[in-house]
Each structure stands twice: as C-alpha cells, then as structure tokens.
Amino acid sequence: MDIQKISDSFIGRINPRLVSWAFKYLKAVPAVRRKLEKEFEGLMKDIERQVKPYSKTFTTYTGIPEKGIERDDILKQMEEFKALEEARWKDGFASGAVYNGDEKHIRFLNQVYALNSQANPLHSDIWPSISKYEGEIVSMTAKMLGAGKAGASGKPEKQICGVVSSGGTESILLAMKTYRDWARDKKGITHPEMIVPVSGHAAFDKASQYFKIKIKHIPVDENYRADVSAARKMINRNTIVIAGSAPSFPHGIVDPIDELSGLARERGIGFHTDACLGGFILPWAERLGYDIPPFDFRLPGVTSISADTHKYGYAAKGTSVILYRGSDLRHYQYFKATDWPGGLYFSATFAGSRPGALSAACWAALLSVGQKGYMEATRKILETGTKIKKAIREISDLFILGDPLWVIAFGSKTLDIYRIMDYMAGRNWSLNGLHKPSCVHLCITLRHTQPGVAERFIDDLRSAVTFVKEHPGEKGGMAPVYGLAATIPVRSIVGDLLERYIDVLYKV
C-alpha cells in the first residue's frame, strides 16, 4: 500500500486555499504557545503567591510530625487562617461563594455539625436519623419545586422523588448518568447524546467526559436564552436528554424551559432543569410577584431538577438535591453490588461513606429559615440586584447581558472589561471573569444586601471605568491573561495552563 499516493490523492480533493490556511495555522500554533507560555511564566509566580500566601509565614508539613502537635496550637493556627480569610467575604466583596454568612446562622450550623460529626449515611442502621433528615430534605425541596401541583401529580410511581448529593456538580453528573443508563435499558441506545446550551454549567461537559455521552451545544439568542429551534434540529435517535438552566451561571438568565421540555416530551426524551443556582430563589421570587418563567415540575416535560441547598438554601457546603419524576427513573442512579464477598453493597450517589453531619445541617437550615425567611432573603437579594442593574445601565461604557435578576453579567464595547475587573480586584472585589462574550459577573448574595455594600460596589465600578479610560496603556494583573484565554483558538493550550494552575494548588 502506497501511503504517500493515498495521502496525495486525499489532499488533492481538498480546497487548496483551505489546505494553505490549515498549514499556516498549524505553523503558528507553536508561536502562539510560546507567547502564552511567556505571558504565564511570570503570572504563575503571582498565582502561587495568591493561592499559597502562608508558605513563608506558617510551618509547612510535608510529612506527619513525629510527635503530635498540641490541639490548642492547631486550633490557634486555624483561628489565624480564619481571621485572614474571613475579611475576603464577610463584608460582601465576593461574588457568590458565601450565600448567607450571618454569624448566628453559621454558629447554629456549626453546633448541628458537631452533634452529628460521627454520622455516616452508609451505615443507616447505626444512624437512622440521617435517613430521616435526607428524606425530608428531598420532600421539602420537591414540594417547593412543584411536586403535587399541576403537571407533577399522578400515579405513585411518577411522584417526585430524589436524593441528597454533595453539590450541584454531583447532582448534574448523577442525572446524566441516570439518563444514559435509562436510555440504554429502555431504548437500546449505545451511543448516547445530550443537548445542552453553551451557557449550561461545565458539569455537563464533565459528565460528557466521565460517562462517554456526546454533548451537543446549542447557541443562545440575543437575550442569552437557549435557542429552541437549534435544539429541535439537533435531536436524533441517540438523544437521551435535553437540559436548560434556571438560571445559567454565566449570565443569570432562565432558559425557555417550557418550550425545551415540551420538545423533549414530544420526542420521549428526558429533560433536566439545572436549578442549582436558582432553585431556592425563583419559587420565592414568583411568590413575591416577579415575572418568573415556568421551570419546575409543573411542566410535564421536566423529568429531573437539580437544586443546591448549599447556595440559596443557606445550608453548609456541600449539599444539593437531585429530583426525578418517578422512582423508576431514580433507580437508574443507584449502584448495587449483589455478589461482593464483603456483603450486599449499595449507594444512591457516587460516594460510599459520606458526612452525615452535612445532611443534618442542611435539614436544620431548611427548618430554621422557613418559608418566610426564604421570602425575605429573596426580596433583599432581588431589590439589591435592581439597584445595581440600574447603576450599571447608567454607565455609558458598560452594558448588561440580557435581563437578569440577581446574577448580573456586564461587558463593554469600548473598554477592556478584564482591566475593569483588575481594578475592582484592587478594591478587594472578587468578581467572576467570563468568556464568549468577554464579560464579568456579580452573583448577589445576602452579603451584598448589608447596608452600604451595593453603594460601595457602584462607586468602585464607576471609578474603575474612569481609571481604565484615563489609563488605556496600563498593563498588569489578570487582564492580559483573560484576554488571551478569551481569544486564543487553540483551546488545548489554555487547558495545559489550567493544569499548571491545579498543580500549584497541590504544591507544598
């Protein structure tokens, strides 16, 4: 076989201009990589100083100490860490991250955790209290998200059920694994595909990699809502699930869940609402009179929902709930081992042993906050969002992406938005830098509803815009990196650099 002839024949059938462009592009890749490496060489040192600030001021332990250190000394060191880090979120400088932060609430959850610190749901015979907590967490969350209402009632086997997971990522992973196994069993699908908006959480891409489910990304429209017509065109015989966000993490926009789930129902496909961010805000916002598009189990096409209790449910990190329309579907999530020499083994989620104390704290949070507490918290957050949106819209160099409620993404057509983010970082604000399009967002929490916080954010943002306009050539900070990462076409290069960042996190 003459490989060269075959190769020449194949290349000969390709557009010569395309071949020329491809070779020029591939030739440029090493140069681009070198440029990025140079940019990141100094930056990695800055990153290491940021993520490892204690390396020169506190003892580093690379091995277990020969003699145990006094407990009081260990606690003292942790108190020092707490004092240094608490200031970064307590006064409302962080986007998301800490969703409640009230001292009395934290103290209460810590007491609950201490009482249940030894509990492990894997041993349900020893700690049946955890089963009670988790069953009731699921029931309370399901009722909040439409269980028992129009579209969610019916036969017992179709009633809303679920489990408690470790966080939103695990909830999404569990749901995608469930749909994969359901489709293989019920439809014989061996090459599964999922349809997810480009603005969907990265956990869907993680599920795609972990479970070998092909992911198809649908675009968003000018309002940053998922394109329903694009989803319709992508459906084929291998499609197992469509997903939508309520709201999306990047832009805070609720996708057209009604239309997307209706499309899924027509085709006999699963539909997952990712309400990890909004599950404990949107129901209360609706009751407060805000115009909230339908997204929950009242829509008959919605077959699963993820909602994070450790965000706006104000539970301790990390708990989440994954809900299903019917126990038959939930069963595909379970793991069972019936022939293991160690005995009968089963688990509802990925973990075996789990900290039962987190479930206890979650249960306690839901009970202690109550419906009135969630309503009041939501009111404060959305009113703060309205105030900040109004101020941003009054700054001519900025624009808000879509019409969000409390996760507010903003960009600029005239200025480098990442340099504005750098300036804000210099004022202690920790904002989220986003891509496609280049923008920044502030995820509003109860920390931002404290007196004076919104006003301080607005004043600092105005100062940031003025500074960047008056100093167009100034460099430094993360702006060049975000700019390169946003525009570089070879995404594997950016991925390589992210690997180096993770390596730094584990460096001692």
Residue 228 lies in a domain: yes
Residue 272 lies in a domain: yes
CATH number of the domain at 282, please: 3.40.640.10
CA 213/CA 458 separation, integer angstroms? 43
3-state secondary structure 111-130: HHHHHCCCCCCCCCCCCHHH
Which stretches in the chain have pLDDT values below 70?
1-40, 42, 150-157, 476-493
pLDDT for residue 228: 97
pTM, entire model: 0.89
Residue 330's contacts (CB-CB under 8 Å, 6 or more residues apart) are 161, 162, 163, 178, 324
Distance from chain centroid for Cα 148: 28
Residue 413 lies in a domain: no
Residue 497 lies in a domain: no
Range of the domain at 255: 115-366
Residue 232 lies in a domain: yes
pLDDT for residue 322: 98
3-state secondary structure 59-93: CCCCCCCCCCCCHHHHHHHHHHHHHHHHHHHHCCC
CA 144/CA 305 separation, integer angstroms? 12
CA 323/CA 330 separation, integer angstroms? 8
C-beta separation of 344 from 338 below 8 A? yes
DSSP 3-state of 398:
coil
pLDDT for residue 153: 59
pLDDT for residue 47: 76
How many domains, in total, are found in the chain?
A: 1
Residue 425 lies in a domain: no
pLDDT for residue 151: 63
pLDDT for residue 232: 97
Look up tokens 């990304």; give the residue.
Answer: 217
| DSSP character at residue 285 | H
Secondary structure percentages of the chain, helix, strand, coil, to 5: 50, 10, 40
Residue 279's contacts (CB-CB under 8 Å, 6 or more residues apart) are 141, 144, 145, 246, 305, 306, 307, 308, 312, 313, 321
C-beta separation of 302 from 296 below 8 A? yes
Residue 159 lies in a domain: yes
Residue 458 lies in a domain: no
pLDDT for residue 468: 95
